[in-house]
Amino acid sequence: MFVENVLLTNLYSIVSFLFPKSFLSGLDSDYIASSDNEIIIHLANNALTGTLPGGLSSIANLYLDITGNQFTEVPSAYCTEAQSSWMNGKVGELKGHDPCKAIGCPVNTFSVTGRMHSDGDEECTACDSSEVAPFVGSFTCIHTAKEITALKALYRATNGDSWEDSENWMDNTKPICSWFGVECAGDSLENTTVTAINLPA
């Protein structure tokens, strides 16, 4: 099955996996690729992590609800001309903007629905400087000034410039959950906290 890279361990509120009858046995690629057949995958609000599978991009007409999870990016392959029918046509309607926003607001932005709508009623709004939205498809930003301050102090105290890998550390444009070695957990964006720090050598 194509979701092998996504961790399905924290399923809090899966609404549905709506696949065509033959989807799980044999993968009828002609059926799936047909733009007349909408595939709907609702995975919202389940604290899912990992990498979204690139294979989904072969589906011509997909409604993929990934909002409220812990994904850090929407693959660019999801946002091309070939996916213009995705999200009830919203990916195609946002062609002049960032079509991926129809699937989920980017990291450090949010909207009430976790995505942008082409009619302008729903924009992905940037978080304030003392807040973050560490995951794609966020509904709100969280205040992290204390965590950021503590992590930056740790970086300085342990001579972080000499670490073997300090990817994203001290970069205010990156969510702290993407800083190398920082692990986060939570059942929703509002309840996301730093749970571990694995310092590089």
The confidence score (pLDDT) of residue 137 equals 95
Per the domain annotation, does 134 fall within a domain?
no
Bigger pLDDT: 60 vs 104? 104
**Percent over 70 (pLDDT), the chain:** 75
Range of the domain at 154: 144-197
Per the domain annotation, does 182 fall within a domain?
yes
Kindly report the average pLDDT of the chain as a whole number. Answer: 78
Tell whether 95 and 167 lie within a shared domain. Answer: no
Residue 115 confidence class, pLDDT cut points 50, 70, 90: very high
CA distance 106 to 76: 12
Per the domain annotation, does 112 fall within a domain?
no
Q: Note the pLDDT tens digit of each residue in 4-30.
A: 444 444 544 444 455 444 444 444 445
pTM of the predicted structure, to 2 decimals: 0.62
Tell whether 24 and 100 lie within a shared domain. Answer: yes
Per the domain annotation, does 77 fall within a domain?
yes
Query: Of the candidates 53, 76, 104, which is a domain's last residue?
Result: 104
Per the domain annotation, does 55 fall within a domain?
yes
Per the domain annotation, does 71 fall within a domain?
yes
**Percent over 90 (pLDDT), the chain:** 32
Tell whether 28 and 77 lie within a shared domain. Answer: yes
Nearest in space to 184 (alpha carbons), one of 153, 139, 149, 151:
151
Query: Of the candidates 76, 104, 132, which is a domain's last residue?
Result: 104
CA distance 88 to 86: 5
Per the domain annotation, does 123 fall within a domain?
no
Query: Of the candidates 83, 104, 125, which is a domain's last residue?
Result: 104
- pLDDT surpasses 60 at 145: yes
The confidence score (pLDDT) of residue 186 equals 60
SS3 61: coil
Torsion of CA 45, 56, 34, 115, to 10 degrees: 40
Per the domain annotation, does 190 fall within a domain?
yes
Q: Note the pLDDT tens digit of each residue in 172-190.
A: 777 777 888 888 766 454 5
Segment among 49-53, 88-92, 130-134, 148-152 with least mean pLDDT: 130-134
Total number of domains in the chain: 2
Tell whether 82 and 149 lie within a shared domain. Answer: no
Q: Note the pLDDT tens digit of each residue in 34-89.
A: 556 788 888 998 888 888 988 889 888 999 999 999 899 999 999 999 999 999 99
